[in-house]
A and B are shown apart, each in its own frame.
Chain A
Amino acid sequence: MKLVTAVIKPHKWEDVREALETFGVTGMTVSEVSGYGRQKGHTEVYRGAEYDIALVPKIRIEIVVDDEDTEDIVGIITKTAQTGRIGDGKVWVSPIETVVRVRTGDKDSAAL
Chain B
Amino acid sequence: MDGYYAFMLVATALVLMMTVPALALFYGGMSRSKSVLNMMMMSYGAFAIASIVFVLWGWSEGWGGDGAGNADGNIVNSPFDMFGLDGVGHANYIYVLFQLTFAAITVALISGAIADRVKLSSWLVFVPIWLTLCYFPIAHNVWGGGWLAQQLAKGSTFAQDYAGGTVVHINAGVAGGILALIIGKRVGFMKDPMKPHNLTLTMIGAGLLWFGWYGFNVGSIVFLPDNLADPTLFSGQFQGETGVTFMNTTIATCAAMLGWLLMERILHGKATSLGAASGIVAGLVAITPSCGAVDLYGAIAVGAVAGALCAAAVGLKFRLKLDDSLDVVGVHLVGGLVGTLLIGFLSTSKAPGGIDGLFYGGGLSSLGDQTLAALFTLVWTGILTTVIALAIKYTIGWRVDEEAEVEGIDFDQHGESAYDLHTSTSSAGSSGVLAASTVAPKSEGANA
Contact = CB atoms under 8 A, between A and B. Distances in A.
Q: Do A and B come from one complex?
A: yes
A47 B193 contact: no
A44 B272 CA distance: 10
Output the residue of B268, B278, B314 with the most chain A CB within 10 A. Answer: B268
A45 B268 contact: yes
B39 to A, nearest CB: 16
Contacts of B275: 47
Contacts, number: 32
A47 B270 contact: no
A48 B193 contact: no
B350 to A, nearest CB: 36
Nearest to A51: B193
Interface in B332-350: none
Nearest to B316: A48
B264 A48 contact: yes
B272 A46 contact: yes
Contacts of B196: 46
Contacts of B243: none
A86 interface: no
A87 B78 CA distance: 69
B267 interface: yes
Nearest to A53: B193
Interface in A38-60: 44-53
Contacts of B278: 47
Interface residues of B, number: 18
Interface in A13-69: 44-53
B32 to A, nearest CB: 12
A22 B143 CA distance: 76
B314 A44 contact: no
A39 B110 CA distance: 41
Contacts of A50: 268
A59 B326 CA distance: 34
A45 B193 contact: no
Nearest to B190: A49
Place the interface of chain A in its size category: 10 to 19
Interface string B291-324: 0000000000000000000010011001000000
B13 to A, nearest CB: 31
Contacts of B195: 44, 46, 49, 51
B24 interface: no
Contacts of A46: 195-196, 272, 274
A48 B190 CA distance: 13
Output the residue of B195, B267, B311 with the most chain A CB within 10 A. Answer: B195
A77 B275 CA distance: 41
Contacts of A52: 193
A45 B272 contact: yes
A51 B327 CA distance: 17
A47 B274 contact: yes
A52 B398 CA distance: 31
A44 B278 CA distance: 17
A49 B270 CA distance: 12
Nearest to A54: B193
Contacts of A51: 193, 195
A48 B274 contact: no
Nearest to B330: A47
Nearest to A45: B268
Contacts of B314: 47-48
Contacts of B267: 48
A97 B50 CA distance: 67
Contacts of A44: 195
Interface string B2-39: 00000000000000000000000000000000000000
Contacts of B270: 45
A45 B264 CA distance: 10
A98 B236 CA distance: 88
Contacts of B274: 46-47
A2 to B, nearest CB: 28
26 contacts: A44-B195, A45-B264, A45-B269, A45-B272, A46-B195, A46-B196, A46-B272, A46-B274, A47-B274, A47-B275, A47-B278, A47-B327, A47-B330, A48-B264, A48-B267, A48-B268, A48-B311, A48-B314, A48-B315, A49-B195, A49-B315, A49-B318, A50-B268, A51-B193, A52-B193, A53-B193
Given A45-B264, A45-B268, A47-B275, 11 more contacts: A44-B195, A45-B269, A45-B272, A46-B196, A46-B272, A46-B274, A47-B330, A48-B264, A48-B311, A50-B268, A53-B193
